[in-house]
Chain A
């Protein structure tokens, strides 16, 4: 699409990174990757070579200034990178520039890094490498006192790498998350391509982001992107805001599991829809989710469920109350339920687990009950990002997805929990449940706010819940539903009774 700016790209193969870099790093250039200690710089440098070998058989030279080659071989074996084997196969070569005691030497007079450049060039030619990683420049700066020379030499190394024609990742330390790009303040001026990895503690949660500061004038995505370091997949940038172009919109409808609700939505949900169901606790969200699962299983469609509000036992008990046998559905192999407390993992990790479950279980339907529970562990903004990212995944896999959301309690409006309004704009169908009070009784109402690509019943309807489930009844009059203050909702004049008529 926008990758035709004349700059050829080198696809790094690092999870999600190439998407924010719009194809990868500029081919044949050096990119600076900076970050504080523990931000993932070394991993980025290692993965750049490893993914190259794994994906495109691109050979790589790893220049290490800090850790020894044996440290690196050992530390990254757990990610499934057989570095030692690659070395014996001539796919990976170390240039060991780590500071051994023997190499400590006084500096007397002028010098440059010609020796290092010669060694790198030699290593590149020996195996025919197209990628080089240097990790990390900071230790060179601490070993050589003259910053002026070191800066000049960094520029020279970058030039030399360019002349050799390799694509390179050069890492450097930063002392602060939001200050100068690199500790010594100058590397960024000698390199055209700068990437920052951040590792910020926010609300007592670690939050990793990657930002492309510049890419040689080439287009790239701006801003900070969440990423996580996965024990299996390494760096995974969560490419939040790209809604993958949707294939053909499906015209096939699936049932919500509730005939009345299907009718309100114009005949069920489109099978590629994402549905947001909002409502306060007890208003019928979990019930609707359970019916949705049951209808999936009844139709022979695999259904994946992530429940963040309840334990598996609670969910099973609730289901049994409505005559739904969760255990039997699981035994059939068509239902896969994951019950977790949101706090057990970071949001990024939850995202990866859901994505992995989708890829492995290949469901036709997905339920997340509730996304608002995840708000406990992140900011609303991050949760919004999560929903966007999730939307991209489910769309790609054509999964009918039901998300539930409860008001957080911190805000009064029942209908617009902190994030629901924004999330609603990202979903295809938005359904709201609320309570209202009439003649001394608590009643429930439901409204379909939008159904993308389809007509729907615009009325606010009465809802009753009994042992059979939820029944959608007649149309209510009054106002306040949308404002979350349904104080004046009432039955049409003729029906003053407290008995909500249930239209079946």
Chain B
């Protein structure tokens, strides 16, 4: 089971982009084997403090351990998937992906 927490600051376009990118990645690679929590640092600064969040968006992979984190709106899906340790999906029909 994968567990992610995405820290954003306000409901900005950048936050929404990050959310949809992360959801898309999880859906395509993990289907229902994940949980995702969105934390808005402007509303829950204490949680941002706990994880010492500097830049937003930042996604933290809480499970499986070890924790991993990635900063940015995850617009490069391939790199984001690699950095978060997501399993490859078999995409035999279009290897270059539609993720560009």
Contact = CB atoms under 8 A, between A and B. Distances in A.
Interface of A: 95-97, 100, 102-103, 105-119, 121-123, 140, 144
Given A103-B52, A115-B55, A108 B45 contact: no
Interface of B: 7-10, 12, 14, 17-18, 21, 41-42, 45-46, 48-49, 52-58, 67-76, 79-80, 83
Contacts of B70: 105-108
B11 to A, nearest CB: 11
Given A95-B49, A100-B52, A105-B58, A114 B8 contact: yes
Given A106-B83, A108-B79, A109-B18, A115 B73 contact: no
A151 to B, nearest CB: 14
A123 B12 CA distance: 23
A107 B49 contact: no
Contacts of B71: 105-108, 111
Contacts of B56: 111-115
B76 A112 contact: no
Contacts of B8: 114
Nearest to B60: A105
Contact of B7 (A96, A102, A115, A121): A115
19 contacts: A97-B54, A102-B67, A105-B70, A106-B70, A106-B71, A107-B71, A108-B70, A108-B71, A108-B74, A109-B17, A109-B80, A111-B56, A111-B57, A112-B9, A114-B9, A115-B9, A115-B41, A115-B55, A115-B56
A108 B75 contact: yes
A95 B75 CA distance: 29
Contact of A112 (B48, B55, B80): B55
A118 B45 contact: yes
A115 B69 CA distance: 14
B7 A111 contact: no
A115 B46 CA distance: 11
B58 A115 contact: yes
B55 A116 contact: yes
A118 B42 contact: yes
A114 B13 CA distance: 13
Given A110-B75, A114-B41, A117-B9, 8 more contacts: A107-B55, A108-B73, A109-B80, A111-B14, A111-B55, A111-B58, A115-B58, A118-B9
Contacts of A113: 54-56
A106 B72 CA distance: 9
Nearest to B66: A102
Contacts of A115: 7, 9, 41, 48, 53-56, 58
B83 A109 contact: no
B96 to A, nearest CB: 18
A145 B76 CA distance: 17
B27 to A, nearest CB: 18
A109 B54 contact: no
Given A108-B70, A115-B9, A118-B9, A144 B55 contact: yes
A106 B70 CA distance: 5
Nearest to B79: A108
B43 to A, nearest CB: 8
A157 to B, nearest CB: 11
Contacts of B74: 108-109
Contacts of B67: 102
